[in-house]
Structure 1
Amino acid sequence: MPLLPVIMNLLGRASRALGFETIDAFPPGHVHARTRWDRAYFDIASDVKADQIESAVCEAIANTPLVFGRIVNPTPRMQRTVLGIIDARLRGSGGAPADLVRLLIEAYRSADTVEAIPGLRAAIASTGHLEMPVRVVRLLDYLADMPSAFDVIQAQP
């Protein structure tokens, strides 16, 4: 057996274990193992624990909301971070949230995306035949009519 592949394999394992590499997913077997993100936008070391990973991604979303679009199958907590930002923007601190609502709609294209709010997938699916600007308005209306922790209010995107 050649020695070089064995050494490279061991160096790769050591590099990941020591946190020298960045990761783009939760560890295998994690409840949200299908969630993926773009390493270029989320600098998360490979030695970080799963709870800390999700916190780091949510913090990045809170600081730069449009990075939400760089996540495949976002966790409910990541979605709630975006919903909180949408709510804050609707309340007048940050402009219209149409860009974030569009990203939320895009996230639900995957059947592997877990719902953050019961009924959200159905609400998004019910607008699937419409153009994106209309879908955004309809989803904002849905969120405004829904009693939630976010108290999303009605506003024009």
Structure 2
Amino acid sequence: MPLMPVLLDLLSRASHRLGLETIDRFPAGHPYARTRWDRRYFDIASDLKPEAIERTMCEAIANTPSVFAHIQNPTPAMQRTLLGVIDTSLRRSCGAPTNLVALLVEAYASPHTREARPGLRAAIEASAGQDMRERVHATLAYLGAMPAAFDVIEARD
């Protein structure tokens, strides 16, 4: 067996374990293994645990919501982060964040995208066949009819 391929394989494994590489998906066997992202927009070290990966991705979405466009099959937490940005934008009366809602609608084109809120997929699929503007407005109407997840204040005895 030639020595060079063996050395390259060992170097690759060491680099991966030390977090010197960036990754573009969760590890195989993870519940969200179908989730992928573009490495150009997300610098995720290969040594991060899945929870830290998801947290880092959510922070990126919260800071720059448009990066959501570069994620395939976003996790429910990633979607909830985007929904939070949409909700904040609506509350501040900054106008409807139609571009962000369009990103959410596009994410649900994949049957592998897990639902972030019960009924969200059905609401988005109900507008299938319409142009994107109509789909966005239908989704906004659905989201507006839902109680906001951020309005809940827990009382302590």
Q: TM-score, normalised by structure 1?
A: 0.93
Indicate the SS of the match to 2:7: helix
Aligned partner letter, 2:51: D
Match of 1:69 in 2: 69
CA distance in 1, matches of 2:57, 2:143: 23
**Is 1:55 paired with 2:38?**
no
Once the two structures are TM-superposed, the CA of residue 118 in structure 1 deviates from its matched residue by 0.6
In the alignment, structure 2 segments of 5+ residues that lack a partner are 152-157
CA distance in 2, matches of 1:56, 1:26: 12
Once the two structures are TM-superposed, the CA of residue 150 in structure 1 deviates from its matched residue by 4.4
1:2 to 1:120, Cα distance in 2 relative to 1, 3 A: same
Q: TM-score, normalised by structure 2?
A: 0.93
CA distance in 1, matches of 2:11, 2:81: 37
Once the two structures are TM-superposed, the CA of residue 95 in structure 1 deviates from its matched residue by 4.2
CA contact (8 A) 1:83 1:150 kept: no
Once the two structures are TM-superposed, the CA of residue 93 in structure 1 deviates from its matched residue by 6.1
Question: How many residues are paired up?
Answer: 151
CA distance in 1, matches of 2:140, 2:150: 12
Aligned partner letter, 1:84: G
Matched residues, percent identical?
63
In the alignment, structure 1 segments of 5+ residues that lack a partner are 152-157
Match of 2:154 in 1: none
Aligned positions of 1:7-18 closer than 5 A:
7-18=7-18
Match of 1:116 in 2: 116
Pairwise CA RMSD: 1.2
Once the two structures are TM-superposed, the CA of residue 128 in structure 1 deviates from its matched residue by 0.7
CA distance in 2, matches of 1:57, 1:114: 16
